[in-house]
């Protein structure tokens, strides 16, 4: 029907088509005005997204963060105008960082007019922390789909812990739209394999099978049988042959909701372009505006006024209000009433749900954290971490996580009675087994965190390379995820340079919003966790040693509580007033302490600064930072078994860094320390040379 005939009463089918074409034309106009973006996919997938939102999803536009809402993930995030159109047309309301409902639109029509411009709530790709109604940041292909597996695991865990007979507090589904690029990226293979193993029947991926990528036809590089691949993963696979057939799409979504014990993949055959096969099918496929002639042609094919821009015809918003708006409000009101009754019967569980949603922690959550006695032989950072993790998992009901098949080595195994392993038949388990899938592990931890669980993932520090894309998105989304990386330097000795991280600390320290901590003894490990658990909007990395580190006598040295300030004065000469400062992190802290003793024995006034976290230290007041690193003391030696890159900011041009300038080698740890100069005498010699130069 023509949009110019809207004065006449419309059938439901006509309203459906009018709404779909509104999504399409908003996308066309936004991309055209921005001179940037991807109009083709939104044009082709408008019927799919319309059907998911207005016919299937339980989502209340007035309260887009109510805990039992269905989740929608646009993994092919370049098609973001699909999402901005939906959030605008459904009149989804904004929520701030304190989880307060603001009443104003999440995405206004003016935002859409300013698509991809500074300050607009319609950015180039979905951004979780920026626009209400976005469930996860997407853009790097595959990340959204893989993150959805974490969301699905979270729902299973939440339902098992909190649901009671007659009280289905958590029973939501996760709908994901993904494309050829998502399925080509390896992270989705990892995540889909695990989702099939876990039987996540609350998860539905819709694959936009349009045969087009930036370089041309997918036949250039992607000819695998996707259906057979996902059947092999243990998924239920459906096919819809026409992306414009709303009833067939709705039927497939219904089959998903009835399928038990398997996630669902719906293969949707579509054509990039206007939504019907013709000579212009590839228009807008490559991130370019259509151009004036193509815009007029597209609008003409929709029966749309060719010169109208950003038109939302009468009846469209009302149609969404009568669909997802009414259905979502009813579902949310029923759930709110159910939760009220639940709280009367199960007050402790209801309180947990409330605390979790606000990212608070239970009272006394850190009461039982260990305190390690002084011990010259010491304990490895990973072992101290394992003890802390077992306390946290018992003290915080919604704290869970696991390792990429390295639990016994990372010491992330939860050994207390009742911890259990999360499996299809045991969704109450607190231990997650990611398999050898670091990339998917990172995305899944993000999905768990987006679901308000406190989650950690673990592997060797060297393999943080594989998890890095998800870690970056975690920082971008401001999620309090935790990454536990062990074997943080050359302590893995004989395994050689493939297992010895060198540049990794510098790399992660360079990532905005990420807190990296490299604790120097067991009590610093405890304090690192104490700090990290109280973060609300920042992810954190703990880089931990494989080998035992001496546990310092805190009666002789400063309290490990100084970790909370990023760096602190661990040891000073009598009366203070140091002439040289030794700065260290991790396994090199005890080395600096030993060098400090030798310098004092020779009458050299040395200070030891423990610096487990640059990021935390840099946020302290200038007064505090100057008290730790007095500007007048130019003789400074930093020591760390990692790249020296960046240390000049703390040692200055007159200082020295003892670190790594090459990759490591395969040999016992002591031989490596000798070869690369990580010995007290070298620190002493460096300090003397600096003082001599002065």
- The single residue of 32, 155, 352, 438 carrying the catalytic annotation is 438
How far, rounded to the nearest angstrom, does the alpha carbon of residue 367 sit from its chain's CA centroid? 28
- Show the 3-state SS of 520-548: CCHHHHHHHHHHHHCCCCCCEEEECCCCE
438 is catalytic: yes
User: Residue 220: how many CB atoms within 10 A of its CB?
Assistant: 9
| Among the listed residues 365, 356, 357, the one whose alpha carbon sits nearest the alpha carbon of residue 398 | 356
- Reading the block at residue 609, the tokens are 């600064």
| Among the listed residues 287, 328, 423, the one whose alpha carbon sits nearest the alpha carbon of residue 57 | 328
| Among the listed residues 524, 521, 513, the one whose alpha carbon sits nearest the alpha carbon of residue 565 | 524
User: Residue 347: how many CB atoms within 10 A of its CB?
Assistant: 10
- Measured CA to CA in angstroms, residue 145 lies from 180, 221, 269, 569, 661 at distances of 12, 21, 18, 46, 39
CA gap 591, 249 in Å, rounded: 65
Report the chain's terminal Cα–Cα distance, integer Å.
85
Give the 3-state secondary structure of residue 268: strand
CA gap 560, 510 in Å, rounded: 25
| Among the listed residues 554, 563, 611, 558, the one whose alpha carbon sits nearest the alpha carbon of residue 585 | 611
- Dmax of the chain from CA atoms? 97
How far, rounded to the nearest angstrom, does the alpha carbon of residue 403 sit from its chain's CA centroid? 16
Angle at 605 between CA 592 and CA 376, to 5 degrees: 35
- Reading the block at residue 137, the tokens are 């940041």
| Among the listed residues 128, 140, 111, the one whose alpha carbon sits nearest the alpha carbon of residue 71 | 128
| Among the listed residues 434, 437, 468, the one whose alpha carbon sits nearest the alpha carbon of residue 448 | 434
| Among the listed residues 610, 44, 563, 468, the one whose alpha carbon sits nearest the alpha carbon of residue 298 | 44
DSSP secondary structure letter of residue 167: B
8 Å CB contact between 218 and 212:
yes
- Interstrand relation of 580-584 and 568-571 (parallel, antiparallel or unpaired): unpaired
| Among the listed residues 511, 448, 507, 437, the one whose alpha carbon sits nearest the alpha carbon of residue 479 | 448
- Measured CA to CA in angstroms, residue 281 lies from 37, 75, 232, 237, 494 at distances of 17, 22, 32, 26, 57
List, by residue number, the catalytic residues: 438
């Amino acid at each position: 029907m023509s949009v110019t005939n809207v004065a006449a009463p419309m059938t439901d089918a006509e309203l459906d088509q009018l709404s779909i074409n509104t999504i399409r034309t908003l996308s066309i106009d936004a991309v055209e005005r921005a001179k940037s973006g991807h109009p083709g996919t939104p044009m082709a997938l408008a019927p799919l997204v319309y059907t998911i939102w207005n016919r299937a999803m339980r989502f209340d536009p007035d309260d887009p963060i109510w805990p039992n809402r269905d989740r929608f993930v646009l993994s092919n995030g370049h098609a973001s105008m699909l999402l901005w159109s939906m959030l605008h047309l459904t009149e989804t309301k904004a929520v701030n960082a304190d989880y307060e409902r603001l009443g104003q639109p999440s995405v206004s029509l003016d935002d859409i007019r300013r698509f991809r411009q500074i300050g607009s709530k319609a950015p180039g790709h979905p951004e979780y922390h920026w626009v209400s109604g976005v469930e996860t940041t997407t853009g790097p292909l595959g990340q959204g789909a893989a993150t959805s597996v974490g969301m699905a695991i979270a729902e299973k865990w939440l339902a098992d812990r909190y649901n009671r007979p007659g009280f289905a507090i958590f029973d939501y589904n996760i709908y994901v739209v993904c494309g050829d690029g998502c399925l080509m990226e390896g992270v989705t293979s990892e995540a889909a394999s695990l989702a099939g193993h876990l039987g996540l029947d609350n998860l539905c991926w819709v694959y936009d099978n349009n045969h087009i990528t930036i370089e041309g036809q997918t036949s250039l590089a992607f000819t695998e049988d996707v259906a057979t691949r996902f059947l092999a993963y243990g998924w239920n696979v459906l096919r819809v042959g026409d992306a414009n057939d709303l009833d067939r799409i709705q039927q497939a979504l219904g089959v998903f909701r009835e399928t038990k014990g398997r996630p669902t993949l719906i293969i949707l055959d579509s054509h990039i372009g206007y939504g019907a096969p013709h000579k212009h099918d590839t228009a807008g496929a490559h991130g370019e505006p259509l151009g004036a002639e193509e815009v007029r042609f597209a609008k003409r094919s929709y029966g749309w006024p060719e010169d109208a821009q950003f038109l939302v015809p009468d009846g469209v918003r009302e149609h969404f209000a009568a669909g997802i708006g009414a259905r979502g409000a009813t579902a949310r009101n029923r759930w709110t009433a159910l939760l009220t009754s639940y709280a009367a019967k199960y007050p402790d569980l209801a309180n947990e749900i409330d605390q979790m949603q606000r990212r608070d922690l239970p009272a006394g959550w850190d009461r039982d954290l260990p305190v390690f006695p002084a011990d010259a032989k010491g304990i490895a950072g990973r072992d101290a971490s394992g003890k802390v993790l077992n306390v946290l998992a018992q003290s915080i009901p919604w704290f869970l996580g696991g390792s990429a098949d390295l639990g016994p080595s990372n010491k992330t195994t939860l050994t207390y009675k009742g911890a259990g392993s999360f499996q299809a038949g045991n969704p109450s388990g607190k231990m997650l087994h990611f398999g050898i899938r670091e990339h998917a592990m990172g995305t899944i931890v993000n999905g768990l965190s987006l679901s308000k669980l406190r989650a950690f993932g673990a592997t060797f520090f060297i393999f943080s390379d594989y998890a890095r894309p998800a870690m970056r998105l975690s920082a971008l989304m401001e999620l309090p995820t935790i990454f536990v990386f062990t074997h943080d330097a050359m302590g893995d000795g004989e395994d050689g340079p493939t297992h010895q991280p060198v540049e990794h600390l510098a790399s992660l320290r360079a990532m905005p919003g990420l807190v990296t901590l490299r604790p120097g003894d067991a009590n610093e490990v405890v304090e690192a966790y104490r700090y990290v658990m109280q973060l609300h909007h920042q992810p954190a990395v703990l880089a931990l040693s494989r080998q035992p580190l001496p546990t310092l006598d805190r009666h002789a040295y400063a309290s490990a509580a100084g970790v909370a300030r990023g760096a602190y004065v661990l040891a000073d000469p009598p009366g203070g007033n140091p002439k040289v400062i030794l700065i260290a992190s991790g396994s090199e802290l005890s080395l600096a302490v030993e060098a400090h003793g030798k310098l004092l024995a020779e009458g050299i006034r040395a200070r030891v600064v423990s610096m487990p976290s640059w990021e935390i230290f840099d946020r302290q007041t200038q007064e505090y930072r100057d008290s730790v690193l007095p500007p007048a003391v130019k003789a400074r030696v930093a020591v760390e078994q990692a790249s020296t890159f960046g240390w000049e900011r703390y040692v200055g041009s007159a200082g020295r860094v003892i670190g790594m300038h090459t990759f490591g080698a395969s040999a016992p740890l002591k031989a490596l320390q000798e070869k690369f100069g990580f010995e007290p005498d070298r620190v002493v010699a460096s300090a003397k040379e600096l003082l001599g130069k002065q």
